[in-house]
Amino acid sequence: KAGVTQTPRYLIKTRGQQVTLSCSPISGHRSVSWYQQTPGQGLQFLFEYFSETQRNKGNFPGRFSGRQFSNSRSEMNVSTLELGDSALYLCASIGASGGPSEQFFGPGTRLTVL
């Protein structure tokens, strides 16, 4: 099976712009989660989508939004970018086994805001 893929891998934006990141989960996985990783802060949970619905949400401002399509692919959007949004954005998917499971992570999108 192909792993979780994320595009683009690198992005450079300026303050005030908006950005859209894409994630394709492992085939058959219906849950997609997004995380922001910064040095010293670890992974901060943004939100999780399951069957096109946001099922869980972290403590990020409304500038951060997402959606999921019927094929389970997910997008994350950040509007009005700030310097502090510079980070590695990770996407992870989970299989629908019904029990506990680990998350499978993509390589991430490195966002730099100038």
Q: Is 33 among the residues that bind other proteins (CB under 8 A)?
A: yes
Q: Is 109 among the residues that bind other proteins (CB under 8 A)?
A: no
CA distance 49 to 53: 5
Only one residue has tokens 């993509």, namely: 106
CA distance 104 to 46: 16
Q: Is 42 among the residues that bind other proteins (CB under 8 A)?
A: yes
Q: How far is CA 67 from CA 34, 43, 48, 51, 76, in A?
A: 11, 20, 9, 10, 7
Q: Is 60 among the residues that bind other proteins (CB under 8 A)?
A: no
Work out which of 40, 62, 70, 84 binds other proteins, going by CB under 8 A. 40
Work out which of 76, 78, 94, 111 binds other proteins, going by CB under 8 A. 94
What three-state secondary structure class fits 28?
coil
Q: Is 74 among the residues that bind other proteins (CB under 8 A)?
A: no
CB of 106 to other proteins, least distance (A): 6
CA distance 57 to 11: 24
Q: In the complex, which residues of this chain contact other proteins (CB under 8 A)? A: 3-4, 31, 33, 35, 40-43, 45, 48, 56, 90, 92, 94, 99-103, 105-108
